[in-house]
Amino acid sequence: MDILLLVAGILGLLTGLAGAVLPIPGPPLSYAGMIALHYSRFAEFSQTTLIVFGVLTVMVTVLDYYVPIWGTKKFGGTRWGMYGSGIGLIAGLFLGPFGVIIGPFAGAFIGEYLHDKSTGRAFKAAVGSFLGLMAGIVVKVLLCLVMLGWACVEIFRNTV
C-alpha cells in the first residue's frame, strides 16, 4: 500500500506542476500528492505544514480566477472588460492549453470594444488581463515547486 501511495503522491505532485501551466487544477493536485505521501511511510508532514499548504492552495486557486479580471481593471478596463475577461477565461477552459491564455485576452478585448468601440483602450485592457493571467501562472508554478521540493526532502529524509 505504501508503494501505491508513493506513486500516487509523486504523480499528483508532477501532474500538479504541469497543471500550473495547463488548464487543470495544478496546486490542488500537488496538494493531493502531498496528502497521499503523508499517509505512506515515505513522508511525514507536520499538521502545520499540511494546513499552511492547504490554505495556500485554496488561496492561489481562488485568486487564479480573479487575477486576470483584476489585471483588466488595473489597466483601465471597465466592467465590460472585466466581465469579458471572466467569460473568456471560462470559455478558454474548453479550448485547450492555449484557450486559457487567449480566452481572457480576447474576452477583455471584446468586452471593452463593445463598450466604447476604442481599439486602443480594448487592447490595453486585454494586455492587463494577459499580465494578470501570467502572474497567476507564476504563483501557481512557484507553489507547486515548493510543494514538490518539500516532498522530495521528506522522502529523502525518511528513506535514508
pLDDT digits (tens, 9 = 90+) for 56-74: 999 999 888 788 777 777 8
Averaged pLDDT in 10-residue chunks for the chain of 160 residues: 92 93 87 96 94 96 82 78 81 80 85 84 82 86 96 89
Cβ atoms of residues 24 and 18 within 8 Å: yes
Residue 2 is predicted with a pLDDT of 84
How far is it, in rounded angstroms, from Cα 149 to Cα 34?
A: 11
How far is it, in rounded angstroms, from Cα 94 to Cα 23?
A: 9
What cell numbers appear for 131 in the block?
499580465
Residue 127 is predicted with a pLDDT of 84
Where residue 78 falls (left for φ over 0; alpha for ψ -120 to 50; beta otherwise) is beta
Three-state DSSP class for 1? coil
Q: How many CA atoms lie within 13 A of 65 on its CB side?
A: 12
Grid-cell match 468586452, residue found = 111
